[in-house]
Structure 1
Amino acid sequence: MIFSSLFGKSDPNASPRDVGHDELQKAVSEGGVTVVDVREPHEFAGGHIPGAINLPLSRFKPDQIPAGKPPVLICQAGARSGAALRQAHAAGATHVRHYPGGMNGWRARGGAVTA
């Protein structure tokens, strides 16, 4: 799956760094992304997107993001994943995106969650 086609601009007002809900839901269901949850381990254990990995912002290093599938950062409400996104982009990992709605938005829109 090609990153640029997967995360096309379905919302003309969205930042090119953001991934919309429908795009993320499709990518997760097809196994086309690596979801990187930057919440703390106890938050992650309380429910996360199936297949997500946990790299807490408190210890986040952009070089820890696995290579391969396009990475999408997520947190609870969007602030921490935004901070991790800025760190990743500053380190040259400009292919990294984030889901600004966070787990709150993911759950509110019926996204799958596992513990």
Structure 2
Amino acid sequence: MKTETVGTATFETWDVDEVASALEKREIVLIDVRTPQEFMFEHIPGALLMPMSFFDAQALPGQSDKRIVFHCGSGVRSEKVARAAIEAGFDRIAHMGGGMAAWKAAQKPHIGTNMATGAPQRVD
């Protein structure tokens, strides 16, 4: 994990293994900031959807029990959203570096779309 101090806040960049481990242990809330269409096509099981275009920091859950980790397709949008959360007053926030592309490159399980039927299917 890489950390950066932004004012009085801590901005964290997690790698896919850290996110996968924390998600499995239910230690984080993983929030996907991609579009609903991107999410429908493929997503990480257990991730919640809050598209960047509708981002509202006041709607985020508190972090007393679980850390919030954002992710997107490549890590660009999730970093922007994480920094916006810090500007909104969150003092410790994280995003997944490399996004969904890095998740798939690491061969982590996700929900994809069966191109023959259009139905969702687990990809391990």
Aligning the two structures, in what range does the TM-score lie when normalised by the shorter sequence? Answer: 0.7 to 0.9
Among candidates 4, 13, 18, match of residue 23 of structure 1: 18
Q: Any runs of at least 4 consecutive aligned residues in structure 1 with deviations exceeding 3 A, and if so which?
A: none
Among candidates 27, 32, 49, match of residue 37 of structure 1: 32
Q: Deviations over 1:59-115 (max 9, x none)?
A: 101122222421100000011001101100101112220001100001110112125
**Counterpart for residue 4 of structure 1:** none
Give the structure with the larger strand fraction: 2
Task: Supply the RMSD in Å over aligned alpha carbons.
Answer: 1.3
**Counterpart for residue 53 of structure 2:** 58
Instruction: Specify the structure having the higher radius of gyration (Cα).
Output: 2
Q: Does the 8 A contact of 1:34 with 1:71 survive in 2?
A: yes
- TM-score computed with the length of structure 1 as normaliser: 0.82
What SS is found at the alignment partner of 2:69?
strand
Gaps in structure 1 of 5+ consecutive residues: 1-8
CA distance in 1: counterparts of 2:59 and 2:105, whole angstroms: 29
Give the structure with the larger helix fraction: 1
- Please tell me the residue identity of whatever aligns with 1:65: L
Task: Count the aligned residue pairs.
Answer: 103
CA distance in 2: counterparts of 1:41 and 1:64, whole angstroms: 18
CA distance in 2: counterparts of 1:112 and 1:28, whole angstroms: 12
